[in-house]
Structure 1
């Protein structure tokens, strides 16, 4: 079983390493805003750590996941989400999750944060809060730097094709790591939750 998990991880890493500049395209136009009846969620990766390894982000569902995009170093992706409760997922060598409670008309932010993995960098989704005392805060100088240092990108047809080709592997990784998420304690879930009041 462990060999299978490692094989799936390697397949995803090979599919995502070193080729992402051709999969996501630079977004033009003005700063994204929530569409009518939607909440906007921004996933940003300001860190250069593990720069050769990319991660893909999803809005998970019971029967179908929605591919949001691939977040490379120094990029950010905007996602128009239905208001309500969501479970977002990031996939690379691992899979990790973040709960979000979203209000229509508001914009929310999450860090795509790399860390040391078994073979390559792993990733987590970390809520950015609208509180001055939060570890990751929209009111901090760090946040202003993160926004200034990252470029808006959007999903291209090549990225959509990549997702279709790897969807089965991504689902296998989701199932594996979802078991760990479901057994995590309440404090860990709270730390990885983006409350509705953190929207601006």
Structure 2
């Protein structure tokens, strides 16, 4: 009877019971925290996807802000221009090819990021303006600030596939299977970065 009662209890427990917060700490091999890293968690063997939302990627002082965004597939993003000059926004990335021709203000149409992958953004007028949009179907995702920490909220216990990506990583996207046991967990990750590139008008690169 006790086994039957336990089975019934497990069957009626609402989704999310036992969920916990998971932290991903992204560091260099020397132990320095890494900014602009993206981490996602997707449950193994389950069709659980993030819900589409809306995103804003500003253009401020001839820079895209934020530099790295992570959004669910199906997200509509707007690109307001806060500068007193015109900008264009474009991408040649396979996950999303588009072009917003020269404009000022916030009149540009929103862009639908409907396929998973990395989208590199650029401006036809200002070649140093580069940003990245990481589009994911994983239900848990985030990006790191200067302390290198990514907080993934409300993750139920189970087996997951962890992805960690950075625009300046020397290698391919890190993929690892992890088990979330229902307690607060910290997942340490090390990645190596290319030499840091200058930003702003000294940036020598373009996504063309």
Q: Same fold (TM over 0.5)?
A: no
- Greater RCO, CA 8 A, separation 6+: 2
Q: Would you tell me which structure has more strand in proportion to its own residues?
A: 2
TM-score of the two chains, using structure 1 as the length reference: 0.29
TM-score of the two chains, using structure 2 as the length reference: 0.28
